[in-house]
Amino acid sequence: MQPKLNAMMNLIKHEIKIDESFYKIEEVRQLTAETFSLKLPKARFAFKAGQHISLGIHGDYQSREYSIYSGANDENLEVLVKEVQNGYFTPKLRKLKAGDLVEIHGPFGKFGMEPKDAENGKFVFIASGTGIAPFRSMVRTYPEIDYTLIHGVRNSTEAYDRNEYAADRYILCSSRDKKGTYHGRLTGYLKGCTFSPETHFYLCGNSDMIFDALEILKDKGFERDQIHCEVYF
């Protein structure tokens, strides 16, 4: 009887095999009242820091793209989410808890640098809000990387995981309180900065910030090829 039972069990196992696109949430890490990270099992695909994934909720038709928040060698795949009031998707994500299934496809995109460039180059990362996600991934993936991270937020509480960045490399531009490095919009800070000519700039966040920052950097004489953009929607 035992071989027959094993065969049946194998058949059942085969039939209920869950597609490898599905990940079980291990932890919902609350960062602020509105922002949290979804901590998932280790990625079942190789990715480069800066790439994004498509994230869906099991049973829902819609999906959204999220930059990967964790490092390429980390034990967990992580995404950073800010709940959009009256939005469709993020309030649903907000309700998820450990053990729930999400669907992940990817990785996608070319935002980021080659590992050899990460070791030798000079980088300025410019992020608004949760646009910091790909930069955390880069910093965790390339611990020796020479970077400055300029992070624009409304309130200084949105300085997600700021302790992970060296204090002299992280510039917090807070527009609604004075607890950041700079009080005001990041574009205001950027206008007063000088950078060495070989710097490469990586911009991530909403399209208005990206466009304004792009114009400022072009006015400073940097070539478009030195400026890399990832737009959040």
Q: Which span (27-35, 52-60, 171-179, 186-194) binds other proteins, by CB under 8 A? A: 52-60
101 counts as binding other proteins under rule CB under 8 A = yes
Nearer to other proteins, 19 or 219 (CB): 19
Binding other proteins (rule: CB under 8 A), the pick from 8, 11, 12, 18 is 18
- For residue 131, give both structure tokens: 């646009």
Give dist(CA 54, CA 52) in Å, integer.
7
Nearer to other proteins, 51 or 137 (CB): 51
User: Hey, which bits of the chain come out as E strands?
Assistant: 22-24, 27-30, 35-40, 52-57, 63-67, 77-82, 101-108, 122-128, 146-153, 170-174, 182-183, 200-206, 227-232
Residue carrying structure tokens 């400073």: 220
Q: Radius of gyration of the chain from Cα atoms?
A: 20
Question: Least separation, in Å, of the C-beta of 105 and other proteins?
Answer: 5
Nearer to other proteins, 30 or 45 (CB): 45
Torsion (CA) 48, 49, 54, 59 in degrees, nearest 10 = 100
Binding other proteins (rule: CB under 8 A), the pick from 56, 71, 112, 134 is 56
Q: Which of residues 193-212 bind other proteins (CB under 8 A)?
A: 207, 210-211
**Site residues (CB under 8 A) for other proteins?**
18-19, 21-22, 54, 56, 58-63, 65, 88, 101, 103, 105-106, 108-110, 207, 210-211, 214, 224-225, 229, 231, 233
